Chain A
Amino acid sequence: QLQLQESGPGLVKPSETLSLTCTVSGGSISSGNYRWGWIRQPPGKGLEWIGSIHYSGSTYYNPSLKSRVTISLDTSKKQFFLNLSSVTAADTAVYFCAEGYYNWFDPWGQGTLVIVSS
């Protein structure tokens, strides 16, 4: 059974870069129909898609974040990564990673709360 687990700092200072890792277990990260995604949820609010990556390296980003986002992956480690630069308090959220099959998401990681504060 495929499982995903987010990891990374829970506190990031304003203007710095938020960096998260998603580790995939129980399955392959290198499958043609899958795009691995990052989604976030500010406290008490709804879901926002950040971006997705195919194992070939093709990336897809939300235009609202595109200038600050980089998603990459390491197939040998079965991990994919999120970098979000120049963060502000508005980037405080629970960050989820998820497997995207034809761009719906299942399963999801448990999520990790990242607070942007000095």
Chain B
Amino acid sequence: EIVMTQSPATLSVSPGERATLSCRASQSVSTNLAWYQQKPGQAPRLLIYSASPRATGIPARFSGSGSGTEFTLTISSLQSEDFAVYYCQQYNNWPLTFGVGTKVEIK
């Protein structure tokens, strides 16, 4: 099973600032990586697939990069609606696995 490690666990950021979230895979997943945003009481929402393309309707301030074992989700200028938990998920190998999440909170 591929273990996905996200860091940091919590990121405190002021509105308008840049946020950088990391996701590391225990072995290469190529670019078969997705990012999701989850707000309290809601289902996760797909942000990024295949490591970098944005899902339909996702603002351009969200960007993904990386390949192999190291991935980054960047939110260029945090808006109030971006404070949430973010998960990465690999789909290169069965079983599909998620990271434990990074909580982005208001500083």
Closest to B92 in A: A103
Closest to B100 in A: A46
User: How would residues 81 to 99 of chain B score, 1 for a CB under 8 Å from any chain A CB and 0 otherwise?
Assistant: 0000001010100111111
Closest to A96 in B: B43
Complex Cα–Cα for A47 and B37 (A)? 12
Interface of B is mostly: loop
Contact B94 A60 (CB under 8 A): yes
Distance from A105 Cβ to chain B, minimum over Cβ atoms (Å)? 7
A-B contacts at CB below 8 angstroms, number? 59
Count the B residues whose beta carbon is within 8 Å of the partner chain — how many?
23
A106 within 8 Å of B by Cβ? yes
Distance from B90 Cβ to chain A, minimum over Cβ atoms (Å)? 9
Contact B46 A47 (CB under 8 A): no
Given A104-B49, A105-B34, A106-B55, A49-B95 contact (CB < 8 Å): yes
B8 within 8 Å of A by Cβ? no
Distance from B54 Cβ to chain A, minimum over Cβ atoms (Å)? 12
Contact B98 A49 (CB under 8 A): yes
